[in-house]
Structure 1
Amino acid sequence: MVAQEYTVDLNKPLVFQVGHLGEAYEQWVHQPIISREGPRFFQSDFWEFLTRTVWWAVPVIWLPVVCWFISLSVRMGHTAPEIALMVITGIFVWTLMEYCLHRFLFHIKTKSYWGNTIHYLLHGCHHKHPMDRLRLVFPPAAAAILCIPFWNLLKLAATPSTTPALFGGGLLGYVMYDCTHYYLHHGHPSSDAPKNLKKYHMNHHFRVQNMGFGITSAFWDRVFGTFPPKDGKKM
Protein backbone atom coordinates (compact mmCIF):
# COMPACT_ATOMS: atom_id res chain seq x y z
CA MET A 1 0.00 0.00 0.00
CA VAL A 2 1.44 3.40 -0.95
CA ALA A 3 1.48 6.15 1.67
CA GLN A 4 -1.06 8.37 -0.10
CA GLU A 5 -3.67 5.59 -0.01
CA TYR A 6 -3.39 4.94 3.71
CA THR A 7 -6.55 5.73 5.69
CA VAL A 8 -6.42 6.53 9.40
CA ASP A 9 -9.04 4.71 11.46
CA LEU A 10 -10.28 7.28 13.99
CA ASN A 11 -11.83 4.53 16.10
CA LYS A 12 -8.40 3.05 16.87
CA PRO A 13 -5.40 4.56 18.74
CA LEU A 14 -3.94 7.16 16.39
CA VAL A 15 -0.29 7.69 17.26
CA PHE A 16 1.17 4.67 15.48
CA GLN A 17 -1.16 5.08 12.50
CA VAL A 18 -0.32 8.63 11.36
CA GLY A 19 3.24 7.77 10.38
CA HIS A 20 1.93 5.62 7.53
CA LEU A 21 0.39 8.68 5.85
CA GLY A 22 3.78 9.71 4.49
CA GLU A 23 3.60 12.89 2.43
CA ALA A 24 -0.19 12.96 2.86
CA TYR A 25 0.24 13.61 6.60
CA GLU A 26 0.69 17.39 6.13
CA GLN A 27 -2.69 17.73 4.44
CA TRP A 28 -4.46 15.29 6.78
CA VAL A 29 -3.28 16.91 10.01
CA HIS A 30 -4.45 20.35 8.89
CA GLN A 31 -8.01 19.21 8.27
CA PRO A 32 -9.38 19.75 11.80
CA ILE A 33 -12.03 17.64 13.50
CA ILE A 34 -14.08 19.84 15.82
CA SER A 35 -14.96 17.83 18.91
CA ARG A 36 -14.47 18.39 22.64
CA GLU A 37 -13.79 14.67 23.02
CA GLY A 38 -10.25 13.85 22.02
CA PRO A 39 -9.17 10.69 20.21
CA ARG A 40 -7.35 7.81 21.84
CA PHE A 41 -3.61 7.98 21.28
CA PHE A 42 -2.31 4.69 22.71
CA GLN A 43 -3.65 1.24 23.40
CA SER A 44 -1.87 1.30 26.77
CA ASP A 45 -3.87 3.05 29.51
CA PHE A 46 -0.62 4.20 31.16
CA TRP A 47 0.74 5.98 28.09
CA GLU A 48 -2.71 7.33 27.29
CA PHE A 49 -2.89 8.87 30.79
CA LEU A 50 0.43 10.67 30.25
CA THR A 51 -0.92 12.46 27.18
CA ARG A 52 -3.84 14.07 29.03
CA THR A 53 -3.41 17.18 31.19
CA VAL A 54 -6.03 19.44 32.78
CA TRP A 55 -5.27 23.13 32.20
CA TRP A 56 -5.11 24.06 35.89
CA ALA A 57 -2.23 21.63 36.44
CA VAL A 58 0.05 24.17 34.72
CA PRO A 59 -0.27 26.98 37.32
CA VAL A 60 -0.59 24.56 40.23
CA ILE A 61 2.66 22.77 39.37
CA TRP A 62 4.77 25.58 37.93
CA LEU A 63 3.91 28.74 39.89
CA PRO A 64 5.56 27.41 43.08
CA VAL A 65 8.65 26.63 40.97
CA VAL A 66 8.56 30.19 39.59
CA CYS A 67 8.46 31.61 43.11
CA TRP A 68 11.31 29.39 44.28
CA PHE A 69 13.65 30.41 41.46
CA ILE A 70 12.86 34.10 41.93
CA SER A 71 13.51 33.75 45.67
CA LEU A 72 17.01 32.45 44.92
CA SER A 73 17.94 35.76 43.29
CA VAL A 74 16.30 37.64 46.17
CA ARG A 75 18.46 35.74 48.67
CA MET A 76 21.52 36.63 46.62
CA GLY A 77 20.92 40.29 47.41
CA HIS A 78 18.98 41.71 44.48
CA THR A 79 16.53 44.53 45.16
CA ALA A 80 12.83 44.47 44.30
CA PRO A 81 13.23 46.72 41.19
CA GLU A 82 16.09 44.52 39.96
CA ILE A 83 14.01 41.37 40.47
CA ALA A 84 11.05 42.94 38.65
CA LEU A 85 13.29 43.86 35.69
CA MET A 86 14.75 40.35 35.54
CA VAL A 87 11.31 38.71 35.67
CA ILE A 88 9.97 40.99 32.92
CA THR A 89 13.07 40.25 30.83
CA GLY A 90 12.52 36.52 31.34
CA ILE A 91 8.92 36.82 30.20
CA PHE A 92 10.05 38.75 27.11
CA VAL A 93 12.64 36.08 26.28
CA TRP A 94 9.94 33.43 26.64
CA THR A 95 7.71 35.22 24.10
CA LEU A 96 10.50 34.87 21.53
CA MET A 97 10.95 31.20 22.44
CA GLU A 98 7.20 30.69 22.18
CA TYR A 99 7.24 32.10 18.65
CA CYS A 100 10.33 30.17 17.53
CA LEU A 101 9.14 26.84 18.94
CA HIS A 102 5.73 27.23 17.32
CA ARG A 103 7.07 28.33 13.96
CA PHE A 104 10.21 26.24 13.49
CA LEU A 105 9.55 23.10 15.56
CA PHE A 106 5.79 22.67 15.93
CA HIS A 107 5.19 23.45 12.26
CA ILE A 108 8.11 21.56 10.77
CA LYS A 109 7.08 19.59 7.68
CA THR A 110 7.53 15.83 7.92
CA LYS A 111 6.84 12.82 5.72
CA SER A 112 8.76 9.92 7.26
CA TYR A 113 7.03 7.45 9.55
CA TRP A 114 8.75 8.59 12.76
CA GLY A 115 8.80 12.23 11.70
CA ASN A 116 5.02 12.19 11.30
CA THR A 117 4.55 10.25 14.52
CA ILE A 118 6.67 12.59 16.63
CA HIS A 119 5.15 15.69 15.05
CA TYR A 120 1.65 14.40 15.73
CA LEU A 121 2.50 13.89 19.40
CA LEU A 122 4.21 17.26 19.66
CA HIS A 123 1.72 19.52 17.90
CA GLY A 124 -0.07 17.84 15.02
CA CYS A 125 -2.71 16.39 17.32
CA HIS A 126 -3.63 19.92 18.40
CA HIS A 127 -4.28 21.01 14.82
CA LYS A 128 -6.21 17.84 14.04
CA HIS A 129 -8.32 18.08 17.23
CA PRO A 130 -8.08 21.76 18.25
CA MET A 131 -10.86 21.59 20.84
CA ASP A 132 -9.50 18.58 22.76
CA ARG A 133 -9.58 19.98 26.32
CA LEU A 134 -7.05 17.55 27.74
CA ARG A 135 -4.37 18.01 25.08
CA LEU A 136 -4.20 21.79 24.93
CA VAL A 137 -1.48 22.41 27.51
CA PHE A 138 1.93 20.79 27.81
CA PRO A 139 2.13 17.68 29.98
CA PRO A 140 4.39 18.50 32.96
CA ALA A 141 7.07 16.01 31.86
CA ALA A 142 7.33 17.63 28.42
CA ALA A 143 7.52 21.11 29.94
CA ALA A 144 10.27 19.96 32.32
CA ILE A 145 12.32 18.69 29.38
CA LEU A 146 12.02 22.09 27.64
CA CYS A 147 13.18 23.80 30.84
CA ILE A 148 16.62 22.19 30.61
CA PRO A 149 17.90 23.95 27.45
CA PHE A 150 16.22 27.21 28.55
CA TRP A 151 18.07 27.10 31.89
CA ASN A 152 21.38 26.31 30.22
CA LEU A 153 20.90 29.11 27.70
CA LEU A 154 20.30 31.62 30.47
CA LYS A 155 23.33 30.37 32.41
CA LEU A 156 25.51 31.21 29.41
CA ALA A 157 24.07 34.70 29.02
CA ALA A 158 23.56 35.81 32.63
CA THR A 159 25.34 35.90 35.99
CA PRO A 160 24.81 33.24 38.67
CA SER A 161 22.68 35.60 40.77
CA THR A 162 20.45 36.83 37.94
CA THR A 163 19.91 33.49 36.18
CA PRO A 164 17.31 32.16 38.68
CA ALA A 165 15.07 35.24 38.45
CA LEU A 166 15.38 35.34 34.66
CA PHE A 167 14.48 31.66 34.54
CA GLY A 168 11.56 32.25 36.91
CA GLY A 169 10.32 35.02 34.64
CA GLY A 170 10.64 32.79 31.59
CA LEU A 171 8.76 30.03 33.37
CA LEU A 172 6.08 32.52 34.37
CA GLY A 173 5.85 33.49 30.71
CA TYR A 174 5.28 29.83 29.86
CA VAL A 175 2.48 29.56 32.45
CA MET A 176 0.85 32.66 30.98
CA TYR A 177 1.23 31.19 27.50
CA ASP A 178 -0.35 27.82 28.27
CA CYS A 179 -3.25 29.33 30.26
CA THR A 180 -3.83 31.92 27.52
CA HIS A 181 -3.77 29.20 24.88
CA TYR A 182 -6.42 27.20 26.73
CA TYR A 183 -8.57 30.31 27.18
CA LEU A 184 -8.35 31.18 23.49
CA HIS A 185 -9.85 27.80 22.63
CA HIS A 186 -12.42 27.43 25.39
CA GLY A 187 -12.96 30.88 26.89
CA HIS A 188 -15.64 33.41 25.93
CA PRO A 189 -13.97 36.83 26.04
CA SER A 190 -16.18 39.89 26.37
CA SER A 191 -13.63 42.69 25.90
CA ASP A 192 -11.90 43.68 22.68
CA ALA A 193 -8.29 42.68 23.42
CA PRO A 194 -8.95 39.00 24.25
CA LYS A 195 -11.61 38.82 21.53
CA ASN A 196 -9.08 39.97 18.94
CA LEU A 197 -6.44 37.56 20.26
CA LYS A 198 -8.90 34.67 20.10
CA LYS A 199 -9.83 35.61 16.53
CA TYR A 200 -6.14 35.83 15.65
CA HIS A 201 -5.42 32.35 16.98
CA MET A 202 -8.51 30.76 15.44
CA ASN A 203 -7.38 32.27 12.13
CA HIS A 204 -4.11 30.34 12.54
CA HIS A 205 -6.02 27.09 13.04
CA PHE A 206 -8.69 27.38 10.40
CA ARG A 207 -7.52 29.78 7.69
CA VAL A 208 -3.80 30.63 7.54
CA GLN A 209 -1.98 27.82 9.31
CA ASN A 210 1.44 28.80 7.99
CA MET A 211 1.32 32.23 9.67
CA GLY A 212 0.23 33.77 12.98
CA PHE A 213 2.52 31.79 15.29
CA GLY A 214 2.20 34.06 18.33
CA ILE A 215 -0.12 32.88 21.09
CA THR A 216 0.10 35.50 23.83
CA SER A 217 0.58 38.31 21.29
CA ALA A 218 1.21 39.02 17.62
CA PHE A 219 4.39 41.03 18.37
CA TRP A 220 6.95 38.60 16.91
CA ASP A 221 4.72 37.83 13.91
CA ARG A 222 4.92 41.52 13.05
CA VAL A 223 8.68 41.61 13.66
CA PHE A 224 9.42 38.57 11.46
CA GLY A 225 6.81 39.12 8.77
CA THR A 226 4.46 36.25 9.59
CA PHE A 227 1.46 38.39 10.44
CA PRO A 228 -1.45 36.99 8.38
CA PRO A 229 -2.84 39.10 5.54
CA LYS A 230 -6.24 40.70 6.14
CA ASP A 231 -7.88 38.64 3.39
CA GLY A 232 -6.96 35.42 5.23
CA LYS A 233 -5.31 33.80 2.22
CA LYS A 234 -2.35 31.49 2.67
CA MET A 235 1.03 32.85 1.60
Structure 2
Amino acid sequence: MEGGWSWGWGKRTRRLSRLRQVAMVVGLVGHLGESYDEWVHQPIVSNEGPRFFESDFWEFLTLTVWWAIPTIWLPVVCWCISMSIRMGHTLSEIGLLFSNVWLYQCIVFILLKKKKKYNLYRGNTIHYLIHGFHHKHPMDGLRLVFPPAATAILCFPFWNLVRIFATPSTTPAIFGGSLFGYVMYDITHYYLHHGKPSNDVSKHLKRYHLNHHFCIQDKGFGVTSSMWDKVFGTLPPQKTTQDCK
Protein backbone atom coordinates (compact mmCIF):
# COMPACT_ATOMS: atom_id res chain seq x y z
CA MET A 1 0.00 0.00 0.00
CA GLU A 2 1.36 3.35 -0.95
CA GLY A 3 -0.13 5.93 1.38
CA GLY A 4 -2.37 8.55 -0.16
CA TRP A 5 -2.04 7.07 -3.63
CA SER A 6 -3.37 3.69 -2.53
CA TRP A 7 -6.88 3.88 -3.92
CA GLY A 8 -6.79 7.20 -5.72
CA TRP A 9 -6.55 8.18 -9.33
CA GLY A 10 -2.75 8.25 -9.07
CA LYS A 11 -2.69 4.53 -8.50
CA ARG A 12 -5.11 4.05 -11.36
CA THR A 13 -2.78 5.89 -13.72
CA ARG A 14 0.30 4.10 -12.42
CA ARG A 15 -1.27 0.71 -13.04
CA LEU A 16 -2.07 1.63 -16.60
CA SER A 17 1.52 2.62 -17.30
CA ARG A 18 3.09 -0.59 -15.96
CA LEU A 19 5.18 -2.57 -18.40
CA ARG A 20 3.11 -5.36 -19.91
CA GLN A 21 4.92 -8.14 -18.06
CA VAL A 22 1.71 -9.98 -17.12
CA ALA A 23 -0.23 -11.75 -19.83
CA MET A 24 -3.68 -10.28 -20.55
CA VAL A 25 -5.82 -12.47 -18.31
CA VAL A 26 -9.13 -11.96 -20.11
CA GLY A 27 -7.74 -13.51 -23.27
CA LEU A 28 -6.49 -16.58 -21.42
CA VAL A 29 -9.16 -17.71 -18.93
CA GLY A 30 -11.39 -19.04 -21.69
CA HIS A 31 -8.84 -21.72 -22.49
CA LEU A 32 -9.09 -23.25 -19.01
CA GLY A 33 -12.20 -25.17 -20.02
CA GLU A 34 -13.67 -27.30 -17.24
CA SER A 35 -10.72 -26.42 -14.98
CA TYR A 36 -11.87 -22.81 -14.85
CA ASP A 37 -14.27 -23.22 -11.92
CA GLU A 38 -11.62 -24.77 -9.68
CA TRP A 39 -9.01 -22.21 -10.76
CA VAL A 40 -11.15 -19.12 -10.22
CA HIS A 41 -12.09 -20.21 -6.69
CA GLN A 42 -8.49 -20.38 -5.52
CA PRO A 43 -8.06 -16.76 -4.39
CA ILE A 44 -4.84 -14.76 -4.67
CA VAL A 45 -4.63 -12.29 -1.79
CA SER A 46 -3.11 -9.09 -3.15
CA ASN A 47 -4.21 -5.45 -3.22
CA GLU A 48 -3.55 -5.41 -6.97
CA GLY A 49 -4.83 -7.71 -9.66
CA PRO A 50 -3.49 -8.54 -13.12
CA ARG A 51 -3.96 -6.42 -16.19
CA PHE A 52 -7.12 -7.33 -18.08
CA PHE A 53 -6.64 -5.82 -21.54
CA GLU A 54 -3.74 -4.78 -23.73
CA SER A 55 -5.65 -1.63 -24.70
CA ASP A 56 -5.14 1.17 -22.18
CA PHE A 57 -8.65 2.45 -22.91
CA TRP A 58 -10.43 -0.81 -22.07
CA GLU A 59 -8.16 -1.41 -19.09
CA PHE A 60 -8.97 2.07 -17.76
CA LEU A 61 -12.69 1.28 -17.85
CA THR A 62 -12.20 -1.76 -15.58
CA LEU A 63 -10.61 0.27 -12.76
CA THR A 64 -12.87 2.20 -10.40
CA VAL A 65 -12.19 3.94 -7.09
CA TRP A 66 -14.97 3.23 -4.57
CA TRP A 67 -16.04 6.84 -4.08
CA ALA A 68 -16.85 7.21 -7.77
CA ILE A 69 -20.01 5.14 -7.22
CA PRO A 70 -21.84 7.48 -4.80
CA THR A 71 -20.39 10.55 -6.52
CA ILE A 72 -21.81 9.56 -9.91
CA TRP A 73 -25.04 7.77 -9.01
CA LEU A 74 -26.48 9.49 -5.92
CA PRO A 75 -27.23 12.66 -7.95
CA VAL A 76 -29.09 10.43 -10.44
CA VAL A 77 -31.07 8.91 -7.55
CA CYS A 78 -32.02 12.41 -6.34
CA TRP A 79 -33.01 13.41 -9.86
CA CYS A 80 -35.29 10.35 -10.12
CA ILE A 81 -36.98 11.23 -6.83
CA SER A 82 -37.48 14.83 -7.92
CA MET A 83 -39.07 13.67 -11.17
CA SER A 84 -41.72 11.64 -9.36
CA ILE A 85 -42.35 14.51 -6.93
CA ARG A 86 -42.83 16.96 -9.81
CA MET A 87 -45.36 14.53 -11.27
CA GLY A 88 -47.49 14.80 -8.14
CA HIS A 89 -46.26 12.18 -5.67
CA THR A 90 -45.73 13.02 -2.00
CA LEU A 91 -42.62 12.12 -0.03
CA SER A 92 -44.50 9.36 1.81
CA GLU A 93 -45.54 7.84 -1.52
CA ILE A 94 -41.97 8.11 -2.76
CA GLY A 95 -40.85 6.32 0.39
CA LEU A 96 -43.15 3.38 -0.41
CA LEU A 97 -41.93 3.24 -4.00
CA PHE A 98 -38.35 3.54 -2.76
CA SER A 99 -38.79 0.44 -0.60
CA ASN A 100 -37.68 -1.63 -3.58
CA VAL A 101 -34.13 -0.71 -2.58
CA TRP A 102 -33.64 -4.45 -1.96
CA LEU A 103 -34.59 -5.35 -5.53
CA TYR A 104 -31.08 -4.85 -6.91
CA GLN A 105 -29.55 -6.93 -4.13
CA CYS A 106 -32.05 -9.74 -4.73
CA ILE A 107 -31.25 -9.77 -8.47
CA VAL A 108 -27.50 -9.86 -7.80
CA PHE A 109 -27.96 -12.62 -5.24
CA ILE A 110 -29.85 -14.81 -7.70
CA LEU A 111 -27.24 -14.25 -10.42
CA LEU A 112 -24.35 -15.10 -8.10
CA LYS A 113 -26.09 -18.13 -6.63
CA LYS A 114 -26.98 -19.65 -9.99
CA LYS A 115 -24.51 -22.36 -10.90
CA LYS A 116 -23.32 -23.16 -14.38
CA LYS A 117 -20.49 -25.15 -15.85
CA TYR A 118 -18.18 -22.74 -17.61
CA ASN A 119 -16.54 -25.19 -19.99
CA LEU A 120 -16.54 -22.99 -23.07
CA TYR A 121 -14.16 -20.18 -23.95
CA ARG A 122 -16.92 -17.57 -24.13
CA GLY A 123 -18.60 -18.72 -20.92
CA ASN A 124 -15.37 -18.62 -18.94
CA THR A 125 -14.49 -15.19 -20.29
CA ILE A 126 -17.89 -13.65 -19.58
CA HIS A 127 -18.03 -15.08 -16.06
CA TYR A 128 -14.51 -13.87 -15.31
CA LEU A 129 -15.29 -10.34 -16.48
CA ILE A 130 -18.56 -10.11 -14.55
CA HIS A 131 -17.62 -11.75 -11.25
CA GLY A 132 -14.95 -14.43 -11.52
CA PHE A 133 -12.03 -12.01 -11.30
CA HIS A 134 -13.34 -10.85 -7.91
CA HIS A 135 -13.13 -14.38 -6.52
CA LYS A 136 -9.66 -14.84 -7.98
CA HIS A 137 -8.40 -11.47 -6.66
CA PRO A 138 -10.82 -10.58 -3.83
CA MET A 139 -8.69 -7.77 -2.43
CA ASP A 140 -8.13 -5.86 -5.69
CA GLY A 141 -9.35 -2.46 -4.51
CA LEU A 142 -9.90 -0.99 -7.97
CA ARG A 143 -12.16 -3.80 -9.16
CA LEU A 144 -14.42 -4.18 -6.13
CA VAL A 145 -17.18 -1.89 -7.38
CA PHE A 146 -19.04 -2.14 -10.66
CA PRO A 147 -17.56 0.17 -13.34
CA PRO A 148 -19.77 3.23 -14.02
CA ALA A 149 -19.56 2.75 -17.79
CA ALA A 150 -21.04 -0.75 -17.51
CA THR A 151 -23.69 0.46 -15.06
CA ALA A 152 -24.73 3.25 -17.42
CA ILE A 153 -25.22 0.74 -20.24
CA LEU A 154 -27.34 -1.54 -18.04
CA CYS A 155 -29.46 1.38 -16.82
CA PHE A 156 -31.18 1.75 -20.20
CA PRO A 157 -32.74 -1.73 -20.42
CA PHE A 158 -33.58 -1.69 -16.70
CA TRP A 159 -35.37 1.68 -17.04
CA ASN A 160 -37.40 0.32 -19.94
CA LEU A 161 -38.19 -2.82 -17.96
CA VAL A 162 -39.52 -0.75 -15.05
CA ARG A 163 -41.65 1.28 -17.48
CA ILE A 164 -43.47 -1.90 -18.51
CA PHE A 165 -44.74 -2.55 -14.98
CA ALA A 166 -45.02 1.01 -13.59
CA THR A 167 -46.81 4.23 -14.44
CA PRO A 168 -44.91 7.18 -15.97
CA SER A 169 -44.94 9.00 -12.61
CA THR A 170 -43.78 6.06 -10.50
CA THR A 171 -41.11 4.77 -12.89
CA PRO A 172 -38.42 7.30 -11.80
CA ALA A 173 -38.91 6.56 -8.09
CA ILE A 174 -38.84 2.79 -8.56
CA PHE A 175 -35.79 3.04 -10.79
CA GLY A 176 -34.13 5.40 -8.30
CA GLY A 177 -34.80 2.99 -5.44
CA SER A 178 -33.12 0.14 -7.30
CA LEU A 179 -30.19 2.40 -8.21
CA PHE A 180 -29.83 3.43 -4.57
CA GLY A 181 -29.80 -0.25 -3.64
CA TYR A 182 -26.93 -0.74 -6.08
CA VAL A 183 -24.97 2.14 -4.50
CA MET A 184 -25.54 0.71 -1.01
CA TYR A 185 -24.47 -2.73 -2.17
CA ASP A 186 -21.27 -1.59 -3.85
CA ILE A 187 -19.94 0.69 -1.11
CA THR A 188 -20.82 -1.89 1.55
CA HIS A 189 -19.00 -4.53 -0.47
CA TYR A 190 -15.90 -2.36 -0.70
CA TYR A 191 -16.02 -1.63 3.03
CA LEU A 192 -16.26 -5.32 3.92
CA HIS A 193 -13.02 -5.96 2.03
CA HIS A 194 -10.97 -2.92 2.98
CA GLY A 195 -12.74 -1.20 5.88
CA LYS A 196 -11.99 -1.62 9.57
CA PRO A 197 -15.28 -2.43 11.32
CA SER A 198 -15.76 -0.82 14.71
CA ASN A 199 -19.04 -2.37 15.86
CA ASP A 200 -20.49 -5.86 16.15
CA VAL A 201 -22.81 -5.54 13.15
CA SER A 202 -20.11 -4.50 10.67
CA LYS A 203 -17.65 -7.00 12.13
CA HIS A 204 -20.17 -9.78 11.61
CA LEU A 205 -20.86 -8.68 8.02
CA LYS A 206 -17.15 -8.58 7.21
CA ARG A 207 -16.56 -12.03 8.70
CA TYR A 208 -19.65 -13.35 6.95
CA HIS A 209 -18.56 -12.09 3.53
CA LEU A 210 -14.91 -13.11 3.79
CA ASN A 211 -16.15 -16.54 4.84
CA HIS A 212 -17.84 -16.69 1.42
CA HIS A 213 -14.54 -15.90 -0.31
CA PHE A 214 -12.13 -18.03 1.67
CA CYS A 215 -14.06 -20.85 3.34
CA ILE A 216 -17.41 -21.86 1.79
CA GLN A 217 -17.78 -20.24 -1.61
CA ASP A 218 -21.08 -21.90 -2.48
CA LYS A 219 -22.85 -20.37 0.54
CA GLY A 220 -23.15 -16.94 2.16
CA PHE A 221 -23.75 -14.89 -1.00
CA GLY A 222 -25.32 -11.99 0.89
CA VAL A 223 -23.32 -8.77 1.23
CA THR A 224 -25.46 -6.21 3.04
CA SER A 225 -27.25 -8.90 5.07
CA SER A 226 -27.86 -12.63 5.28
CA MET A 227 -31.57 -12.19 4.49
CA TRP A 228 -31.49 -13.64 0.98
CA ASP A 229 -29.31 -16.54 2.12
CA LYS A 230 -32.06 -17.45 4.57
CA VAL A 231 -34.70 -17.12 1.85
CA PHE A 232 -32.83 -19.26 -0.71
CA GLY A 233 -31.31 -21.78 1.69
CA THR A 234 -27.64 -20.84 1.27
CA LEU A 235 -26.93 -19.79 4.85
CA PRO A 236 -23.49 -21.14 5.87
CA PRO A 237 -23.11 -23.18 9.07
CA GLN A 238 -22.75 -20.88 12.08
CA LYS A 239 -19.55 -22.59 13.27
CA THR A 240 -17.89 -22.09 9.89
CA THR A 241 -18.75 -18.39 9.89
CA GLN A 242 -17.22 -17.96 13.32
CA ASP A 243 -14.08 -20.02 12.68
CA CYS A 244 -13.10 -18.67 9.26
CA LYS A 245 -10.11 -16.32 9.47
Asked if 2 retains the 8 angstrom alpha-carbon contact of 1:35 and 1:132, the reply is yes
Equivalence for 1:158? 166
Equivalence for 2:80? 69
In structure 1, distance between residues paired with 2:109 and 2:190: 17
Asked if 1 retains the 8 angstrom alpha-carbon contact of 2:146 and 2:186, the reply is yes
Asked if 2 retains the 8 angstrom alpha-carbon contact of 1:90 and 1:168, the reply is no
Equivalence for 2:112? 102
Q: Does 1:83 align with 2:94?
A: yes
Of the three residues 30, 55, 62, the one matched with 1:44 is: 55
Deviations 1:64-115 (A, max 9, x none): 111111111000111111111111x2202223223123223xx543111111
Deviations 1:113-150 (A, max 9, x none): 11111111111100000000110001112112332343
- Give the superposition deviation at 1:199: 0.7
**Matched AA of 1:19:** G
In structure 1, distance between residues paired with 2:149 and 2:196: 29
Equivalence for 1:183? 191
Deviations 1:23-67 (A, max 9, x none): 011000000000001111111211111111111110111011111
In structure 2, distance between residues paired with 1:213 and 1:203: 10
Matched positions, count:
221
- RMSD of equivalent CA atoms: 1.6
Of the three residues 118, 132, 139, the one matched with 2:126 is: 118
**Matched AA of 1:199:** R
Task: Name the TM-score, length of structure 1 as normaliser.
Answer: 0.89
Deviations 1:198-231 (A, max 9, x none): 1110011011111111111111110111111224
Deviations 1:147-174 (A, max 9, x none): 2343233222222111111111110110
C-alpha spacing 1:101/1:149, structure 2 compared with 1 (3 Å): farther
Tell me the SS of whatever aligns to 2:142: helix
**Matched AA of 1:225:** G
Q: Does 1:18 align with 2:23?
A: no
Asked if 1 retains the 8 angstrom alpha-carbon contact of 2:34 and 2:117, the reply is no
Q: Does 1:136 align with 2:144?
A: yes
Equivalence for 1:3? none
More moved, 152-161 vs 166-175: 152-161
- Give the superposition deviation at 1:184: 0.4
Equivalence for 2:7? none
Equivalence for 2:224? 216
In structure 1, distance between residues paired with 2:166 and 2:121: 40
Tell me the SS of whatever aligns to 2:81: helix
In structure 2, distance between residues paired with 1:166 and 1:71: 12
Identity %: 65
Asked if 1 retains the 8 angstrom alpha-carbon contact of 2:41 and 2:135, the reply is yes
**Matched AA of 2:32:** L
Q: Does 1:93 align with 2:103?
A: yes
Equivalence for 1:147? 155
In structure 2, distance between residues paired with 1:81 and 1:206: 42
